[in-house]
Structure 1
Amino acid sequence: MGVELQSPGEPVSELRESFRSGKTRSYKWRKTQLKGILRMIVEKETEITDALYVDLSKPKLESFIHEITLAKHSCELTLKELEHWMKPEKVSSILTAFPSSSKIVSEPLGVVLIISAWNFPFLLGIDPVIGAIAAGNAVVLKPSESSPATSSLFARILPSYVDSSCIKIVEGSISETTRLLEQKWDKILYTGNAIVARIILAAAAKHLTPVVLELGGKCPVVVDSDIDLKAAARRIVVGKWGTNNGQACIAPDYIITTKSFSPKLVDALKTTLEKFYGKEPMKSEDLSRVVNSNHFSRLTRLLADEKVSGKVIHGGERDEKQLKIAPTLLLDIPDDSLMMQEEIFGPLLPIITVDNLEESFDLINSKPKPLAAYLFTTSKKLKEKFLNSVSAGGMLINDTTLHFTNTNLPFGGVGESGMGSYHGKFSFDAFTHKKGVLHRSFVGEVSARYPPYTPRKQKFLKAVLNGDITDLVLSVFGCLKS
């Protein structure tokens, strides 16, 4: 079961004692915990899927592809590569320390806190835990209170598969999170929004605790006219509505295309939406619901903004009782509307038109840096300009969201969309201190480094530091004798 906080220092003191014992540092302990997590994912697949459905009405296939499979692959990769990741990295030494050897040692940080999000509550909880364990840390996972079924599931099943003296679950809401943030941690990883991130960063600053912040932002999709329109429409639709019905930090937030091409793109999107979710999408079992009434009200407020009145060109239906909003397209809403100022995080997708696609770069760069930016084009010139002109946490050309699944790529934000990164080896590195170690023998002692500093010693040291081989050869013998 999850830990109930009896005092502000719990469970941190117990975890710190466990970490100081050294048990989390061994390869054997790390491997045992990871195998336990992998076994949990396999054995509890049905229960995980059921919890995700309770929290979000998430379709079973989405749960399997986006959460269970990705978590399983993350654990398998870590088990396969962990021994290699843990090995010290040999690096070149320097002449002034001759003879010597140098290496970088991966050292666990200590006791870390992971605060996960509600939109992919299983994956975004367990994936960073995998990285923290792999790095040899003791861990507290605080699941989101907005996904209570998954939070409860974690608290109930995880302790049966891992060492509960080093890995703990703390359930609760704002008060529990606040009490956790009062403690000293060796690292905090938070997935969520920028408002809460600022609170976490301020709390971490009191203890000089490093943080990884996985946030969001308005992820743009720039669409050129020289594309496979059918394929592009399918990839945009599944990236927006097929990832938790738009409730994803890397879901497309708005589209930019040319005025001349927009009618074709709109028709293709409408056709694809009807093909995927039917003529009555509110009845589709392949769309997640809005997570709760607060988020439903927020999305309704975006639609009710008088600045977007008359701009809905597809969808717009909503049912507050079922917390459902149909996939909705809007055309040419003003940039000062609420929908273009806030991250949407839901099934609404504005389409903005411009005369020339290169105008899109200024529009994107006028907003905080997004977590992801997408471009559909076959133009090499446009690809290069997009890559060099737009700053984002990650980029994908001719598709959406798939870069998240590549564990060889770092996943993280920049600016308002976050700091730090994880996934695969990057998760291991996120929870590791890279300790530089230089080892010398007692031979090769050179008196030039010690006082008194004679002219001969000075000449020798200048030759060494400047890389002047001629002066070095001429002075070395005398310096060794002096």
Structure 2
Amino acid sequence: MSGTEGKGVVKDSRAQPSLGTDPFEDTLQRLREAFGAGRTRPAEFRAAQLRGLGRFLREHKQRLQEALLQDLRKSAFQADLSELILCQKEVELALRNLHAWMRDQPVAKNLLTPLSSAFVRKEPFGLVLILSPWNYPVNLILMPLVGAIVAGNCVVLKPSEISQATEKVLAEVLPQYLDQSCFAVVLGGPEETGQLLKHKFDYIFFTGSPRVGKIVMAAAAQHLTPVTLELGGKNPCYVDDDCDPQTVANRVALFRYFNAGQTCVAPDYVLCSPAMQERLVPALQAAITRFYGEDPRASPDLGRIISDKHFQRLRGLLGCGRVAVGGQSEESDRYIAPTVLVDVQEAEPVMQEEIFGPILPVVTVSSLDEAVDFINRREKPLALYAFSRRSQVVSQVLARTSSGHFGGNEGFLYQTLWSMPMGGVGHSGMGRYHGKFSFDTFSNPRACLLSPAGLEKLRDLQYPPYSATKQKLVRWALASPGCTLL
């Protein structure tokens, strides 16, 4: 049976006339009933869904690669590296740790609860909505899905309609590998997403822009629904004078131009002295030529811009500052060359919005202090990078700034570490995921205290009237280790 024929997919209503009915109501009701019946809670069920997801990734690897090539001109290797392998490893990690993560966590007690059992139970929230973006359309929908599954939730997945080829694979094939009474893929554009957000969910996980994040958060507030917001922002990259410019250029170019710059944790602009700029720009040119050849447009390792609308926005940003490297573009191919801009002013559009493309502005500062001030007077970024041979310089940038992620002499390789949480702070988002952090995100930590039904005489100390002796003993008991009262 095709996934679009089963009940795991709500068909795209964009091309259908409105009949005044809610296209999502039946699906959401089915999932709520499944959760209420406890279908997703057993460890065996969660493991079966994870194994199904793993089979989907293995059995449809080529089709997913082809979809990513069509959407973003992403090579098979880059598709594996940044999407498929990471998702597969996330599934395997969850399967290995499923029982340990689900296990109740005993906690310390005090002298008022000596015979009680005190523990934290991680229970699922219930019906979860995952809204994913187009730039990593497999990774950024399936990674949070793993966390929602392992935590025992029912899930509604809403892939981006912009990455159309990948959306089609997810809609047609993925539901065949999951229990369709507990999981559904829904389709549509902004109008359908807005209609979907009118419904009450128990948790919403959104990855996208701060502008849309505010809309999602406002909708969630109507039902007091908790959210994780994985947003973006302008990620600074400070380059100290005490650096090897070619080493810095290699690392910055790799992470700036990967996926044609359409990465939320990519370095968004460079801060350096005028002297370092003179050394860094030729090094960036050399790195770009080394990575992508004399004609980057012919390179299989350089992606394309996702849509005509995004291409036009980025081409407009090429008019900011002065083009020092690259600057070429071709509308028919949605191609923008790896570009470096210099003489950029802070008030220009390229410094006012997240670029999300293969354009790197360089802004000059006179000192580390000026760079830190520049960073701190802007919104807190999702990621921040600092390059220097002097460890104390990197440490100062780390200590004097705030961001979701930080890389010292490194790019976003932390994305490959399941031991590290992913997420923003302030304007760049809230909440964390990856590995155990995903399980915790999609779980409610329920405080549980189980006391004996009998032995009532032992509790006499807690009941009024409170004599001077009782007061003294209660105070002493409350002061014992592990006591916390609101």
- Partner Cα distance (2:472, 2:382) in 1: 54
1:449-468 alignment runs, 5 A limit: 449-466=462-479
Aligned to 1:261, the other structure's residue is in SS state: helix
Structure-1 residue corresponding to 2:278? 263
Shift of 1:297: 1.2
Aligned to 1:95, the other structure's residue is in SS state: coil
Task: Give CA deviations for 1:306-343 in whole Å, capped at 9, x if unaligned.
Answer: xx2xx110110011111111011011300011111111
The match for 1:430 among 433, 437, 441 is 441
1:156 is the counterpart of 2:172: yes
Instruction: State whether residues 258 and 357 of structure 1, in contact with CA within 8 Å, keep that contact through their aligned partners in structure 2.
Output: no
Aligned to 1:237, the other structure's residue is in SS state: helix
CA RMSD, Structure 1 to Structure 2 (Å): 1.5
TM-score (norm 2): 0.93
1:321 is the counterpart of 2:332: yes
Structure-2 residue corresponding to 1:185? 201
Structure-2 residue corresponding to 1:388? 399
1:176 is the counterpart of 2:189: no
Aligned to 1:172, the other structure's residue is in SS state: coil
1:12-411 alignment runs, 5 A limit: 12-242=28-258, 244-305=259-320, 308=321, 311-411=322-422
Structure-2 residue corresponding to 1:445? 458
1:3 is the counterpart of 2:19: no
Instruction: State whether residues 290 and 346 of structure 1, in contact with CA within 8 Å, keep that contact through their aligned partners in structure 2.
Output: yes
Instruction: State whether residues 201 and 211 of structure 1, in contact with CA within 8 Å, keep that contact through their aligned partners in structure 2.
Output: yes
Task: Give the residue type in structure 1 aligned to 2:128.
Answer: V
Shift of 1:467: 5.5
Instruction: State whether residues 260 and 302 of structure 2, in contact with CA within 8 Å, keep that contact through their aligned partners in structure 1.
Output: yes
Shift of 1:228: 4.0
Shift of 1:276: 0.9
Task: Give the residue type in structure 1 aligned to 2:38.
Answer: G
Structure-1 residue corresponding to 2:16? none
Task: Give CA deviations for 1:377-426 in whole Å, capped at 9, x if unaligned.
Answer: 12222122111111100101111111111111110000110010111011
Shift of 1:462: 3.0
Shift of 1:300: 1.8
Q: Once the two structures are aligned, what percentage of the paired residues are identical?
A: 42
Bigger Cα displacement from structure 2, 429-438 vs 233-242: 233-242
Task: Give CA deviations for 1:156-181 in whole Å, capped at 9, x if unaligned.
Answer: 11111111110110011112211210
- Partner Cα distance (1:467, 1:30) in 2: 40
Runs of 4+ deviating beyond 4 Å = none
Aligned to 1:198, the other structure's residue is in SS state: helix
Aligned to 1:112, the other structure's residue is in SS state: strand
- Partner Cα distance (2:204, 2:278) in 1: 46
- Partner Cα distance (2:48, 2:389) in 1: 47
Aligned to 1:49, the other structure's residue is in SS state: helix
Instruction: State whether residues 110 and 478 of structure 2, in contact with CA within 8 Å, keep that contact through their aligned partners in structure 1.
Output: no
Shift of 1:452: 2.0
- Partner Cα distance (2:158, 2:309) in 1: 21
- Partner Cα distance (2:110, 2:473) in 1: 16
Instruction: State whether residues 110 and 480 of structure 2, in contact with CA within 8 Å, keep that contact through their aligned partners in structure 1.
Output: no
- Partner Cα distance (1:105, 1:113) in 2: 22
Instruction: State whether residues 90 and 102 of structure 1, in contact with CA within 8 Å, keep that contact through their aligned partners in structure 2.
Output: yes
Shift of 1:279: 1.4
Contiguous gaps of at least 5 residues in structure 2: 14-20, 482-486
- Partner Cα distance (2:188, 2:250) in 1: 39
Instruction: State whether residues 111 and 480 of structure 2, in contact with CA within 8 Å, keep that contact through their aligned partners in structure 1.
Output: no
TM-score (norm 1): 0.93
Compared CA separation, residues 280 and 466, structure 1 to 2 (3 A): closer
Task: Give CA deviations for 1:244-288 in whole Å, capped at 9, x if unaligned.
Answer: 110110011001112222222111110010111111112222111
Shift of 1:67: 0.3
- Partner Cα distance (2:310, 2:52) in 1: 35
Compared CA separation, residues 451 and 234, structure 1 to 2 (3 A): same
Compared CA separation, residues 71 and 463, structure 1 to 2 (3 A): closer
For the pair shown, the structure with the greater C-alpha radius of gyration is 1
Compared CA separation, residues 467 and 240, structure 1 to 2 (3 A): closer
Compared CA separation, residues 422 and 458, structure 1 to 2 (3 A): same
The match for 1:419 among 418, 422, 430 is 430
- What is the aligned residue count? 463
Compared CA separation, residues 113 and 466, structure 1 to 2 (3 A): closer
- Partner Cα distance (1:71, 1:353) in 2: 39
Aligned to 2:232, the other structure's residue is in SS state: coil
- Partner Cα distance (2:116, 2:313) in 1: 62
Aligned to 2:243, the other structure's residue is in SS state: coil
Shift of 1:466: 4.5
- Partner Cα distance (2:419, 2:318) in 1: 39
Instruction: State whether residues 77 and 424 of structure 1, in contact with CA within 8 Å, keep that contact through their aligned partners in structure 2.
Output: yes
